[in-house]
Amino acid sequence: MRNGSVRHRPFFKILVANRGEIALRVMRSARKLGLGVVAVYSDADRDALHVREADQAVRIGEALPAQSYLNIPAIMAAARASGADAVHPGYGFLAENEAFARACKDAGLVFIGPSPQAIEAMGNKAGAKEIMKKAGVPIVPGYQGAEQGDEVMLAEAGKIGFPVMIKAVAGGGGRGMRLVTDAASFPEALRSARSEAKAAFGDATVILERAIQNPRHIEIQVFGDSHGNAIHLGERDCSVQRRHQKLIEEAPSPAVTPELRAKMGEVAVSAVKALRYEGAGTLEFLLDQSGAFYFMEMNTRLQVEHPVTEAITGLDLVELQLRIARGEPLPIKQQDIKFSGHAIEVRLCSEDAAQDFMPQSGRMARWQVPEGIRVEHALQPGSEIPPFYDSMIAKVISHGANREEARGRLIVGLEQLTAFGVTTNQAFLLSCLRHPGFAKGEATTAFIGAHRNELLAPRADAAFEIALAGLLLYVTNPRAPSWQGGRSLAATFPLPAKIDIGGDAHELDIMRERDGSYTVAVEGRQHKFEIDQLDPDAVRFRLAGVMDSAKFLRDGDRLYVQHRGIPLVANDLTLAAPKATSTNGGDGKVRAAMNGRVVAVLVKPGDRVTAGQPVLTLEAMKMEHVHKAGIAGVVGAIDVAEGEQVTTGRIVAVIGAG
């Protein structure tokens, strides 16, 4: 025990300085311990579920993160107004902000996390690497210097050798991170990484690291208390990533042996004890194919993926945080920790995987979660997905006696989940889980890049899905006679239809047969459907003697339909006028692909550009997205300025042929 340093720190009401499913997750454990909970919200979240579920809620600003969830004075004022005596930062936003932890302490509030000194020491990637290096922990070669000039950074990148990684010193989650393969593309990548880091964390400082090819991303969950005790809860494998952001996490890792787990865990616990660290933390490592591991960073907070550790240990990690913050000793010793089975988590994100994971915003018209599987979310039918925050909208977690059982349960759970109204990565996640490489436990950080074409390939039954969508548009058309089962004596003749799915138009012929069935001809194939039951939100049908079902939602001429977990959106174009313009920039007009903020205008009127040349960069959901010229020519007009908010589809630049 640390003499004189341990004291009881009682608290009774917690303000959760976060939003969405993160806030709800913290509230659940707080209430289990009999604690009151206070939510904070921006204008965009006024009607959000975490606000409704809290005992009290306090407005802290406008929609943009810099004006709300990163606003320390506003959050301190909210704590005073609500009478909260403790603050939980959640994960993300201010969770690893030393100034926030210190402000809580100065205000007499218990900060549910490590000390400001520990956050400062480990929250800065450059400083953390130096501390670990002195402790003998293997470090990825790189540059962590204070000199951040463009020429210095380029020179240091050359010394390290390409490819290199640019990483934001503050924060995580892939923001402010860029893989650079050559010197020519380094300056723009550096500018973009700094801009993204500044927007997400308020700090544009970056470090450089040698890019280790095809590693595993392994992290060790640790806890320390104010009595000098420290434990690790094993590892998580977070290798399946896109845009350097985790997509699928699992525990334990298929690549970590008991011997390697013990070695990595010992290193992690030694670091916690050396720091006199209190609370939850995660040490992140790269594991190469030879079994060597290299320290990357320490996250001084709980991780998004903590549920998989909870599943295999049976522990409530938020409850552990709360007990440690109250001054209690850890209730479990290292030798008592047992691992049971296997757990896998997927992050359901509002993004379009087929469009380079472009973030999506809008209204969630229908939201249903499966029973028998853990789903962390803060959604309900009608929830708005704003463009200002992270694109992750839910986490789906499975647990099984072994990895294959956990994988199977997760696939079934995802198939049963329904999210209509906003494009999500649901189908892409299913493709990943079903891929032979993932099934064998072989996925590294290169998994999505190496298998992207396979993961996004059209499904073998795509023609059937088109036929089903066309049939549902026909039988649910409010302008057509209502569907009735049974035979008909009316003459039969095909009715032409045209639908759009994913930007591709399809011609169909739909005919009701006299026996009451429907024949849908599409792409030279005929599909005969027998509808047994048609409800307002689901259909039960037979095809080739097999009974099947699908969920759907009709919204005007738009239809959302989901069959065996694969959602798609179909638009009825049968009576629609042809579109006069292109949407991909082929007409010379560059359109905003999402709601977002202009962070960089890369050309000016009169500049000559080539097809595919970057024109401007938008930031949405804390990520930057480059918009490119659709044709070669001369820039005629730029209709936006840096810092301006734009809406989806707005013309932001016009390029004339030349």
* Segment 253-266, tens digit of pLDDT: 999 999 999 999 99
Q: What is the structure's pLDDT at 540?
A: 97
The Cα angle at residue 220 between residues 216 and 221, in degrees rounded to 5:
140
Four-way CATH pick for 216-455: 1.10.260.40, 3.40.50.300, 1.10.10.10, 3.30.470.20: 3.30.470.20
Please give the average per-residue pLDDT across 432-460, as a whole number.
94
> What does the DSSP assignment read for 542-590?
EETTEEEEEEEEEETTEEEEEETTEEEEEEE-TTPPPPSS-SSSTTSEE
**Amino acid residing at 242:** R
Please give the average per-residue pLDDT across 413-419, as a whole number.
97
Q: List alpha helices for 417-455, DSSP H.
A: 426-434, 436-439, 447-455
How far is it, in rounded angstroms, from Cα 616 to Cα 594? 13
* Domain 13-112, second-level architecture: 3-Layer(aba) Sandwich (3.40)
Q: What is the structure's pLDDT at 2?
A: 46
443 against 597, higher pLDDT? 443
Residue 577 has pLDDT above 70, yes or no: no
Which residues, listed in sequence order, are joined to residue 295 by a DSSP beta bridge? 139, 285
Residue 583 has pLDDT above 50, yes or no: no
Please give the average per-residue pLDDT across 477-489, as a whole number.
68
For the stretch 26-55, pLDDT in tens is: 999 999 999 999 999 999 999 999 999 999
Mean pLDDT in the chain?
90
3-class SS of residue 207 = strand
Q: What is the structure's pLDDT at 208?
A: 93
Q: Which helix (H) or strand (E) holds 110?
A: strand 110-111
Q: What is the structure's pLDDT at 140?
A: 83
Q: What CATH number should be reported for the domain whose range is 462-572?
A: 3.30.700.30
Please give the average per-residue pLDDT across 387-412, as a whole number.
96
Please give the average per-residue pLDDT across 189-193, as a whole number.
93
Query: Of 534, 406, 383, 404, which Cα lies nearest the Cα of 471?
Result: 534
Residue 643 has pLDDT above 70, yes or no: yes
- pTM for the model stands at 0.84
- The residue whose two tokens read 């003998």 is 136
Q: What is the structure's pLDDT at 580?
A: 45
Query: Of 557, 551, 583, which Cα lies nearest the Cα of 499?
Result: 557
Q: What is the structure's pLDDT at 258?
A: 96
- The region of weakest confidence among 46-50, 163-167, 230-234, 639-643 is 639-643
Tokens of 461: 């039954």
- The region of weakest confidence among 488-497, 541-550, 597-606 is 488-497
Please give the average per-residue pLDDT across 245-254, as a whole number.
97
Q: How far is CA 516 from CA 96, 439, 491, 519, 529, in A?
A: 63, 43, 12, 10, 9
* Domain 141-210, second-level architecture: 2-Layer Sandwich (3.30)
How far is it, in rounded angstroms, from Cα 292 to Cα 537? 52
Q: Write the CB contacts of 585 (distance below 8 Å, at least 6 apart in sequence).
A: 591, 628, 629, 630, 631, 655
Angle, helix 98-106 to helix 116-123, in steps of 10 degrees: 170
Please give the average per-residue pLDDT across 110-123, as a whole number.
92
Q: What is the structure's pLDDT at 127?
A: 77
Q: What is the structure's pLDDT at 510?
A: 93
Angle, helix 403-416 to helix 426-434, in steps of 10 degrees: 150
503 against 239, higher pLDDT? 239
Question: Rg (Cα) of the chain, in Å, rounded?
Answer: 27
3-class SS of residue 60 = strand
Tokens of 190: 């550096």
Please give the average per-residue pLDDT across 285-304, as a whole number.
91
Q: What is the structure's pLDDT at 4?
A: 42
Catalytic residue among 19, 25, 301, 512: 301
Q: How confident is the model at residue 483 (pLDDT cuts 50, 70, 90)?
A: low
Q: How confident is the model at residue 616 (pLDDT cuts 50, 70, 90)?
A: confident
- The region of weakest confidence among 111-125, 452-466, 483-497 is 483-497
Exposure of 111 by Cβ count < 10 A (0-12 exposed, 13-18 middle, 19+ buried)?
buried
Q: What is the structure's pLDDT at 62?
A: 87
The Cα angle at residue 404 between residues 399 and 407, in degrees rounded to 5:
55
Cα 501 to its chain centre, rounded Å, is: 24
> What does the DSSP assignment read for 258-308?
HHHHHHHHHHHHHHHHHHT--EEEEEEEEE-TTS-EEEEEEESS--TTHHH
* Domain 589-657, second-level architecture: Beta Barrel (2.40)
- Percentage of the chain beyond pLDDT 70 is 94
For the stretch 333-388, pLDDT in tens is: 999 999 999 999 999 999 999 988 989 999 999 999 999 999 999 999 999 998 88
Q: What is the structure's pLDDT at 67?
A: 80
In eight-state DSSP terms, residue 231 is E
- The region of weakest confidence among 71-80, 110-119, 124-133, 433-442 is 124-133
Same CATH topology for 13-112 and 216-455: the answer is no
Phi–psi pair at 78, nearest 5 degrees:
-65, -40
Q: Is the peptide bond before 163 cis (omega within 30 degrees of 0)?
A: yes
3-class SS of residue 343 = strand
Residue 173 has pLDDT above 70, yes or no: no
- The reply to whether 301 belongs to the active site is yes
For the stretch 122-137, pLDDT in tens is: 877 777 878 888 777 7
How far is it, in rounded angstroms, from Cα 654 to Cα 658? 13
The Cα angle at residue 302 between residues 297 and 304, in degrees rounded to 5:
95
Residue 581 has pLDDT above 80, yes or no: no
Please give the average per-residue pLDDT across 632-639, as a whole number.
87
How far is it, in rounded angstroms, from Cα 403 to Cα 610? 49
Q: Where are the domains of the chain?
A: 13-112, 141-210, 216-455, 462-572, 589-657
Most confident option among 77-86, 170-179, 521-530: 77-86
For the stretch 488-540, pLDDT in tens is: 655 567 889 999 998 889 999 999 888 889 999 998 899 999 999 999 999 99
Q: What is the structure's pLDDT at 488?
A: 64
Q: What is the structure's pLDDT at 489?
A: 56
Q: What is the structure's pLDDT at 169?
A: 83
Residue 573 has pLDDT above 80, yes or no: yes
Q: How confident is the model at residue 248 (pLDDT cuts 50, 70, 90)?
A: very high
